[in-house]
Amino acid sequence: MIKKLPIKWKLTIWSSVLLSVLFISYNLLQYIVIEKWSVSYEQQNMQHQLTEIEAFLKEKSIRDPSELQRYDHYFATINEKNQMIRILDEKGKPVFTVSHSVPSSWVKPKKATSLQYEIVHHYEDRLLILRSPMTAFSGTIEIVRNMETFDDFRDTIFLVMVATVAGAVILSFLGGSIIAKQLLVNVQAMTNTVKRIKKNGLNERVPVNDTNDELAQLGKLFNDLMDDLEQSFLQQKQFVEDASHELRTPLTIIKGHLTMLNRWGKHDPNVLNKSLQSSLKEVERLNQLVHELLELSRAESEAPNMTEWEMVDVRLVMDSVIRNFENVYADYTFRQIRSESAYIRIVARHLEQIFVILLDNAVKYSQESRKEIHVSIYQEDDVAKIEVKDFGIGIPQADLPYVFRRFYRVDKARSRKQGGNGLGLSIAKRLVEKYGGTISIESKEGQGTTVVMAFPVVRL
Ligand code: ADP
């Protein structure tokens, strides 16, 4: 039953129950202690009186109960309020009684052979009785004390206790529900936001107050998470749009050629040949684009698989990539300005991929100028630095911040002509960052471009 209640009620009920148990047990303990203590206090008091009476009888050398009557004045003074002193003869018959507000008829006389206490009730009154055999003569003395005053006091205390328990329960109930309400206002706000997100989309946020308590922190965290989610959702959407757009261009061109061939070109070997060549080129481009998209997706999503990481000497990888480029681009000069050994932890194939992208760009964008590419590899403190510098067309200052974005090309037409899809640098950046490295680009339009990378080195 209680499991199904809202947290607010659970908190309230638990706090009230716990507090009442605490208060009730504390009060009960106090009540028992008071009760025990006062009975024993009264007993001591009565015993003290008994000793005094015995001493008095001894002093007056009283040997027979019948002599007692003479000293009733003494007994009247020693007797306390709400108390009766009664003396029984050896047969147990009352022979002498002094009393203040305790009628003799309330207590049946009883002989005693040793000191004993008894508690009897007479209607609402509680009577504490001390019985003891007399030493002066054979007989019994009974001191009967009405606990009325103490009982009244005890009842008052009891009432006060009940009132405090009731007060405590009410207070804890109110306090509990106020605290629970305060706590849960934020949770409720969050629940409402999640409901709205479900209904309206990712742009809803939790209202966060400036208390900076745990719930406010949770709210902030939730909003941050939603920001990231929204951001990544928008990016994905943008990416799909961009990718579709990029895919459509070659497809449109191929379709144009096929339509043309279908209409007129079938019997014209010239047109046929030209269109087939163009279409093949576009298919090749499509192939390349799909390949790059796949690479990018891998670079973005794959969690680094540490087991594949190996110690790689950057210089050796660069040497082999440069050798390949030299074979393909015989008209370019690749100069290694600095070539030091530097070991980093990486998947060798990825490092190769990064170098290919950078050298490919360097070649692509310096076709009409000085065909020289400078490469430097060196170690600075704990960092392996790699620089690839060309003297080509460069990148305008305004475009520099965007070149790492997916599909970003400075000059769409020129880049496309050179086979660029605008994905190279974004793939390179994702890969570099995956291995804890950084990549930056400096460029002056018309003078050339330098890409600088830094990777943490492995100490040997
Ligand atoms: P792409 O495949 O089109 O070269 P990248 O992501 O590799 O795509 O580069 C993005 C854009 O940055 C390129 O389109 C080009 O305009 C510019 N760029 C990259 N590298 C160079 C460079 N070395 N020199 C001049 N421009 C460059």
DSSP string computed for 368-403: TSEEEEEEEEEEETTEEEEEEEEESS---TTTGGGT
Which run of H or of E encompasses 146? strand 140-146
Give the model's pLDDT for residue 51.
Answer: 94
Domain boundaries, the chain: 2-170, 214-299, 305-456
Buried b / exposed e across 112-132, counting CB within 10 Å, b at 16+? beeeebeeeeeeeebbbbbbb
| Pairing outcome for strands 333-339 and 370-380 | parallel
Cβ of 289 below 6 Å from ligand 1: no
Give, as one character, the DSSP assignment of residue 358.
H
Q: For ligand 1, atom 13, which residue shows the shortest CA distance? A: 409
Give the model's pLDDT for residue 215.
Answer: 81
Give the model's pLDDT for residue 149.
Answer: 85
Q: How far is CA 137 from the centre of its chain?
A: 84
Q: How far is CA 428 from CA 141, 350, 406, 419, 451, in A?
A: 111, 9, 11, 17, 11
pLDDT in tens, 427-436: 999 999 999 9
**Which atom of ligand 1 has the smallest separation from the CA of 423?**
6
**Which atom of ligand 1 has the smallest separation from the CA of 419?**
2
- Encoded tokens for 245: 């757009």
Cβ of 415 below 6 Å from ligand 1: yes
By mean pLDDT, which of 48-52, 81-85, 147-151, 337-341 is the weakest? 147-151
Give the model's pLDDT for residue 457.
Answer: 93
Return the higher-pLDDT residue of 246 and 333.
333
pLDDT score of 388 more than 80: yes
Per DSSP, helices labelled H in 91-213 are 148-200
Give the model's pLDDT for residue 66.
Answer: 85
Can you tell me the distance from the alpha carbon of 244 to that of 236, in angstroms, rounded to the nearest whole number?
12
Distance 292 CA to ligand 1 centre (A): 14
pLDDT in tens, 282-293: 999 899 999 988
Q: Under DSSP, is residue 448 helix (H, G, I), strand (E, B) or coil?
A: strand
Residue among 403, 443, 445 to mutate when testing ligand 1 (max atoms within 8 A of CB):
403
CB 419 within 8 A of CB 307: no
Average pLDDT for 28-48: 93
How crowded is residue 424: how many other Cβ atoms within 10 Å of its Cβ? 24
Confidence of residue 420 (pLDDT cuts 50, 70, 90): confident
Query: Helix 424-434 and helix 269-301: axis angle, to 10°?
Result: 20
pLDDT score of 260 more than 90: no
Q: 2-170 adopts what CATH topology? A: Beta-Lactamase (3.30.450)
| Pairing outcome for strands 383-391 and 370-380 | antiparallel
Q: 214-299 adopts what CATH topology? A: Helix Hairpins (1.10.287)
pLDDT in tens, 98-114: 999 999 999 999 999 99
Average pLDDT for 376-395: 94
Q: Under DSSP, is residue 345 helix (H, G, I), strand (E, B) or coil?
A: strand
Cβ of 79 below 6 Å from ligand 1: no
Buried b / exposed e across 185-205, counting CB within 10 Å, b at 16+? ebeebbeebeeebeeeeeebb
- Encoded tokens for 51: 């000793």
Cβ of 394 below 6 Å from ligand 1: yes
Q: Which amino acid is at 97?
A: T
Give the model's pLDDT for residue 245.
Answer: 86
Cβ of 423 below 6 Å from ligand 1: yes
pLDDT score of 2 more than 80: no
Confidence of residue 355 (pLDDT cuts 50, 70, 90): very high
CB 181 within 8 A of CB 8: yes
Q: For ligand 1, atom 14, which residue shows the shortest CA distance? A: 409
- The predicted model scores a pTM of 0.60
What CATH number belongs to 305-456? 3.30.565.10
pLDDT in tens, 183-214: 788 788 888 988 998 998 888 888 887 777 88
Can you tell me the distance from the alpha carbon of 385 to that of 342, in angstroms, rounded to the nearest whole number?
9
Residue among 375, 389, 415, 429 to mutate when testing ligand 1 (max atoms within 8 A of CB):
415
Q: Which amino acid is at 320?
A: S
CB 292 within 8 A of CB 421: yes
Distance 350 CA to ligand 1 centre (A): 19
Cβ of 428 below 6 Å from ligand 1: no
Can you tell me the distance from the alpha carbon of 110 to that of 131, in angstroms, rounded to the nearest whole number?
8
Q: For ligand 1, atom 20, which residue shows the shortest CA distance? A: 361
pLDDT in tens, 445-454: 999 999 999 9
Average pLDDT for 145-160: 89
- Residue 107's closest CA among 86, 135, 136? 86
Mean residue pLDDT of the chain comes to 90
pLDDT score of 354 more than 90: yes
Q: For ligand 1, atom 23, which residue shows the shortest CA distance? A: 362
- Residue 92's closest CA among 131, 127, 124? 131
Q: How far is CA 33 from CA 257, 353, 446, in A?
A: 106, 86, 99
Q: For ligand 1, atom 2, which residue shows the shortest CA distance? A: 420
Give the model's pLDDT for residue 414.
Answer: 67
Distance 280 CA to ligand 1 centre (A): 24
Give the model's pLDDT for residue 39.
Answer: 93
Which run of H or of E encompasses 86? strand 83-88
pLDDT score of 302 more than 80: no
Give the model's pLDDT for residue 274.
Answer: 87
Cβ of 219 below 6 Å from ligand 1: no
